[in-house]
Structure 1
Amino acid sequence: METINGDVMKWRFIETGFNDAATNMAIDEAILTCHGRGKVPPTLRFYRWRPPAISLGYFQRLEKEVNAGLCRELGIQVVRRLTGGRAVLHDRELTYSVVVSESHPLMPATVTESYKVISGGLLAGLKRLGICAAIAPRNRSRSGELSPAACFNTLSSYELTVNGKKIAGSAQVRRQGVILQHGSLPWELDADKLFLVLKFSGRQAADRMKQAFLAKATCMRAVTEREIPWAEISAALREGFKSALGVELETGRLTAEETRLALELVTLKYKSQEWNNKY
């Protein structure tokens, strides 16, 4: 469902605040499902994580990629995403999700080109924060020397960089004729913690991969060298999406159906061993 007022398309904007890992992933899927049923409009959501969490790409093997026991000791949750890609440590960051029909007039048919459209919103938002980012070119090669486990070690087509370093990681899935793209825009990067809980052949390999990661990734704090309040980051990114996509963002909330479905998905899917140990 999409609402058009003259030439201005109306999308819903939601901030759901802090949630645990299973709840965050369940809400994204609930919005996708309800949008596919025509029950809710295209939606931009901003959210946060408490406690910190590792999200695995859909096809990653938990036992191969992450030390789950150590994560439990450190109070880090682990959850599998609907989307592909590599592991991400979510802590001090703004996480966004975009849910929109594949047939929406703003969305190109291909995954990579739709990435470019959505990255335009992030780019405009970062500019409002004084961060001069750039969109990586299409088909930029990936280094085979870097860890296959960590998301910010690789740069996909049309992802965002600052001074050549990746500042936002995103992933996309398409189901029921609907696009779900979500991504992480970190305020801080805790490379020590990330490379402590990821699995490697040994400590030397982990340290080598961590240094490669730090050479390829950055965060808002490193770029701005100032403490940016959450409200300022959220407002800037919201305005960035609004201006870059040319949509009107109406503040809303989850519907009763989305809330009910998300609660079901938390229990039946995202907190289950069957899902999180899927591969």
Structure 2
Amino acid sequence: EIDLEAVKDLGLGFVRRPTGGRGVLHEHELTYSVIVSEEHPEMPKTVTEAYRVISEGILKGFHQLGLEAYFAVPRTDEERSALKNPRSAVCFDAPSWYELVVEGRKVAGSAQTRQKGVILQHGSILLDIDEDKLFRLFKYPNERVKERMKSAFKNKAVAINEISSRRITLDEAKEAFYKGFAEGLNIELETYQLTEEELAYVNKIAKERYENDEWNYK
């Protein structure tokens, strides 16, 4: 469903994430990643509940910025059905269980996977959004459908700087969510610098797997 010609024309990269899910344009945003053992005493056994616990950090981050964010909980059969059978490949098109929303619109998108006893949850927190560029990256049956989806999107997703009373910089967002994760997860964060050996290993994995067409198109 992604228009790879448009990706190329816009000079963007393309990668398939191990958590799956719908498409994200990584641009004017703050991304986060949490890696934790499934055996951690604070981690619930179910994906949905673990998602809620980890997302508490994002919730508190929004509160640090003075935004009244809250967790979305699909209540009707129609809303639950939409989660299983999404009409759009655009990630921010609909909130899922415990997704973060402000004024009814999605402000952060997250995904989780569990492998070998380890939980990975990562996501994207929008500071700004270029809707024209985003919708150029997906395929639609015709222009009319594309415009209809684009128009509906405005009621479903929003960026921080559209709803904040002042412009939030990336550095301010980093600080807010740093404090938010510390508070929401009740942890003390320590800065860590990768060693040259670790960095070399990261680059090796990127080159041998995640930058390969074999991984991204399979």
How far the C-alpha of 1:258 sits from its partner, in A, is 3.5
How far is 1:254 from its partner? 2.3
Rounded Cα–Cα distance in structure 1 between residues aligned with 2:208 and 2:114: 21
C-alpha distance after superposition, 1:226-270 (max 9, x if no partner): 221222111110111111111110111224453222111221111
Amino acid at match of 2:67: I
Percent identity, please: 46
Partner of 1:99: 35
Distance 2:87 2:128 in 1: 20
How far apart, CA to CA, are the structure 2 residues paired with 1:176 and 1:135? Answer: 29
Identify which of 93, 97, 107 aligns with 1:157. Answer: 97
Q: Which amino acid aligns with 1:170?
A: S
Aligned length: 214
Structure 1 gaps, min length 5 = 1-64
| In 2, Cα distance between equivalents of 1:162 and 1:142 | 22
Structure with the larger strand share: 1
With over 3 angstroms needed to count, the CA separation of the structure-2 counterparts of 1:268 and 1:193, relative to structure 1, is same
Q: Distance in 1 between matches of 2:74 and 2:198?
A: 35
Q: Which residue of 1 aligns with 2:166?
A: 226
Q: Secondary structure at the residue paired with 2:25?
A: strand
Q: Which runs of 4+ in 1 moved over 6 A?
A: none
1:225 Cα offset (Å): 4.0
- Distance in 2, matches of 1:87 and 1:195, equals 11
* Pairing partner for 2:194 from 254, 258, 263: 254
Report the 3-state secondary structure (helix = DSSP H, G, I; strand = E; otherwise coil) of the residue aligned with 2:189.
strand
Matched, 1:215 2:155: yes
Which of 103, 108, 111 matches 2:47? Answer: 111
Deviation at 1:171, TM superposition (A): 0.3
Q: Tell me, which stretches of 5 or more residues in structure 2 are unaligned?
A: none
SS of 2:41's equivalent in the other structure is coil
Q: Give the 3-state SS of the residue equivalent to 1:209 in structure 2.
A: helix
Q: Aligned partners of 2:137 and 2:67: how far apart in 1?
A: 30
The residue type paired with residue 181 of structure 1 is Q
Find out whether 1:141 has 2:80 as its counterpart.
yes
Describe the shift of the 1:192–1:146 C-alpha distance in structure 2 as closer, same or farther (beyond 3 A).
Answer: farther
Instruction: State the shift of 1:90 in Å.
Output: 0.8
Q: Aligned ranges for residues 148-187 of structure 1 at < 5 Å?
A: 148-187=88-127
For the 8 Å contact 1:136–1:156, the answer to whether it is kept is yes
Deviation at 1:138, TM superposition (A): 5.8
The superposition leaves residues 176-211 of structure 1 with CA deviations (integer Å, 9 ceiling, x where unpaired) of 111110000010111111111101111111111111
Give the whole-Å Cα distance in 1 for the aligned partners of 2:209 and 2:95.
30
Q: Secondary structure at the match of 2:119?
A: strand
Q: Counterpart of 1:32? A: none
3-state SS in 1 of match to 2:14: strand
Q: Aligned letter for 1:199?
A: K
- Three-state SS of the structure 2 residue aligned to 1:250 is coil
Look up the equivalent residue of 1:242 and give its one-letter code: A
Q: What is the distance in 2 between the residues matched to 1:263 and 1:90? A: 20
